[in-house]
Amino acid sequence: MQFSARIDAGDRALIQIVDAAMAEAARKSGPWLVCRLGCTQCCIGPFPISQLDSIRLQRGLAELEENDPERAQRVRERARESVARIASGFPGDPATGQLAEGEDAEARFADFADDEPCPALDPETGGCDLYGARPMTCRTFGPPVRCGPEAVGVCELCFEGASEAEVADCEVEVDDDGLESALLEELEAGGARGQTLVAFSLAYCAL
């Protein structure tokens, strides 16, 4: 699936908004924020990604193919190997990579493939080979971030010893205009529904 021009422009605007908010969060957090290249705890264990994330990742892999085909091939190989390892217990449809919905599926996902590394993670450098195209969960993980009415999330490695007030002082709101939700609604109207995983998104996408 490809971006439409409107979705593409909207997603690029969304990335700018989110990245600007995260830069402000990093500024506020200062030494409390310990996220660094090679800290890969958040890269182990799969997490749901949206169809917008999935298409962005596929675009990022296509761009990597143009600039560094060998690196792109390593990403795809890791994705295919990951799918082969996790398909049998996948809480959804392994043919499409779409996660099932409902409480039972969520319960199955809770203990699913906890030790599985993200295929975009370069095991030698500890860096993300698709960093510029990474999902929103990756972009907003680490400092205290609020997305709409949801609770603030903070990496367990950051803010060690900080008080609730100190964490709150560093909090930022991302996408308070709901641009991501609007883009997802447009994608869903076009038939792109549900959530998937990074591995499924990258394993067999057309470059």
Are 121 and 49 in contact, with CB atoms under 8 Å apart? no
Question: What confidence score (pLDDT) does residue 154 get?
Answer: 86
Dist. CA 138–CA 155, nearest whole Å:
11
% of the chain exceeding 70 in pLDDT: 95
Give the list of residues 6+ apart from residue 24 with CB closer than 8 angstroms, or none. Answer: 172
SS3 state of residue 1: coil
Give the residue ranges of the chain where pLDDT is below 70: 1-3, 148-151, 206-207
Give the pairing type, strands 172-173 and 92-93.
unpaired
Dist. CA 180–CA 145, nearest whole Å:
15
Give the pairing type, strands 145-146 and 98-99.
unpaired
Question: What confidence score (pLDDT) does residue 16 get?
Answer: 95
**Model pLDDT for residues 1-52, shown as the tens digit of each residue:** 456 888 999 999 999 999 999 999 999 999 999 999 889 999 999 999 999 9
In angstroms, the Cα distances linking 139 to 36, 165, 174 are 13, 24, 11
Alpha-helical (H) ranges within 68-111 are: 69-86, 103-110
- Compute the mean pLDDT over every residue in the chain, rounded to the nearest whole number: 92
Give the pairing type, strands 172-173 and 98-99.
unpaired
Are 197 and 48 in contact, with CB atoms under 8 Å apart? yes
Q: pTM score > 0.95 for this model?
A: no
Give the list of residues 6+ apart from residue 37 with CB closer than 8 angstroms, or none. Answer: 125, 126, 127
Question: What confidence score (pLDDT) does residue 176 get?
Answer: 75
